[in-house]
Structure 1
C-alpha cells in the first residue's frame, strides 16, 4: 500500500519535429504557471482520491487528506487504512488494520515523487508535451504528457491535467511499466492554511497496542 500510494502521492520520446517543439513550448509555459501558483503557498491542505487500475483488470480506490508544510519539507497524509507522517528527518508509516508503525528515514530526494514534491515533481527530469484539452464536470482541463528522461524509472509516462481557470492540478495519472495505472485526483485544495505543528509529529501515546518497527 505504501508503494502504491507514493507511486502516485502521491501525482508523472517525443519526436523532434517542429510540431513537437511547439507542443513542448506550450507545455513548458503551462507548467511554469502551475509552479508559480504552488510556489506562492507555504502550506497546502488537499483532499484527494486514489484510483488504481491493475493490469489484471482489478481495481482499488482510496481517499484521504494531505497536509503539507512546504517550507520545512513536512507532511501528514491520512487515508482510511494508512497514515504517513514526516518531520523532514523521520517518516512514520502507520498501518491501521495491521496495528503496526514502520519508522524510516524521510526521503527528501528530488529524484523521486514523494509528498514533499507532488506539486512540483514535473519541473525537472521529464520531457513533456501539451496534447489537448478535456472536459470534466464542466471544467476545461489542459492535458500534459510527461515522459521521464531516465528510462530506468518504473513508470513509462505521466498524464497531468490542469484546470485552465486557476492553473491548479486537477489530477495526475501514472502509467507504470507493469501495466498498472494510478490516478490521484485533488478534490479540494487550500493554500497557506494554518496547520498545527502537531500534525507533523508522531505521538506514540495515540497508538497504544501498535507494534513499532524501526527500519532506520
Structure 2
C-alpha cells in the first residue's frame, strides 16, 4: 500500500487559489466561494485526516495521518504510520518506512499540477459542480456538492465534497475512480494559522538511518 498516500495527494489536489469557476449551479458556486475564502485566510494549516478505501473487488483499507501546510512558502509534510512526504518547496522526499526507502524528487509548485499545497482548494477550477442535498453526520449538518472533472481523461469520474454548514470547512471528500474504487478522506480536525516548526519541512537523514536513498532528480 506504499502508494496510497500518493493517491491521496494526487486525486484531491488540482489548483490553488484560482477563483475562476465554470458555468455551474449558482448555489454551489456561492458555497464553494465561502469555503475558498475561509481557507485562503489561513497562512498555515494543520489537519488530521483519515482515509477509507473501498475497492471494486470488495476489499478495503484504512489509514490516518496529519498534514502540515505552510501555504505562503509552498512547504508541506504529510505523515501516516507507514509513509511521510516532505517538501521544502524545492525538493520532495517520499519516505516509505516499511520498505526503508526514501525517494527524492524535485518539488512541483505549478498551480496546474497535482501537489499537496492545493489540498484545501482543489475544487476551484477544472470541475462542473452541483449542490445536491444536506446530510446529517455526528450531529453536524453537511452541505453536499458533487463535482465532475471537465477533463474526461482524468482517472476519476466524480468527487463528492461534504462541507460543514456551520463552519464552511470541508468535512470529507470522496473520490470515485473509473475502476470502481472509492476513496474517502475525512478531516478529523483542522487548525488554521497555527505556528508550525520549520523542522517539519526539512528531511533529516539521521532520523532514517539504514534507509536506501533513491535520488530521482
Contact 1:110 1:121 in 2 (8 A): no
> Aligned with 1:9: secondary structure?
helix
Cα distance in 2 for residues equivalent to 1:6 and 1:126: 21
Change (3 A) 1:77 1:22: closer
Cα offset, 1:8, TM superposition: 3.0
Distance 1:3 1:210 in 2: 17
Structure 2 partner of 1:184: 185
Aligned residues: 208
Deviation at 1:2, TM superposition (A): 5.5
For 1:151, the equivalent position in structure 2 comes to 152
Residues 22, 150 of structure 1: CA spacing in aligned structure 2 closer, same or farther, 3 A cutoff? closer
Question: Residue 43 of structure 1 corresponds to which residue in structure 2?
Answer: 44
Equivalent-residue separation in structure 1 for 2:84 and 2:36 (angstroms): 27
Q: Which residue matches 2:63?
A: 62
The answer for unaligned runs of 5 or more in structure 2 is 14-21
CA distance in 2, matches of 1:148, 1:22: 13
Report the Cα offset of residue 23 of structure 1: 6.9
Structure 2: distance between partners of 1:212 and 1:159: 37
Question: 1:196-211 alignment to 2 at 5 Å?
Answer: 196-211=197-212
Structure 1 residues without counterparts, runs of 5 or longer: 13-20
Q: 1:170 to 1:67 in 2, by over 3 A?
A: same
Aligned to 2:9: 9
Alignment RMSD (CA, Å): 1.7
Which position in structure 1 is the counterpart of 2:138?
A: 137
Q: Map Cα deviations across residues 107-146 of structure 1 (whole Å, 9 max, x no partner).
A: 2233344311010010000000001111100100000000
> How far has the Cα of 1:88 moved from its partner?
1.0
Counterparts of 1:76 and 1:2, CA distance in 2: 16
- The secondary structure found in structure 2 opposite 1:202 is coil
Q: Secondary structure at the match of 2:98?
A: coil
Instruction: State yes or no: 1:99 paired with 2:100.
Output: yes
Decide whether the 8 Å contact of 1:9 with 1:184 is kept in 2. Answer: no
Q: TM-score, normalised by structure 1?
A: 0.92
Whether contact under 8 Å (1:8, 1:113) holds in the other structure is no
Contact 1:8 1:183 in 2 (8 A): no
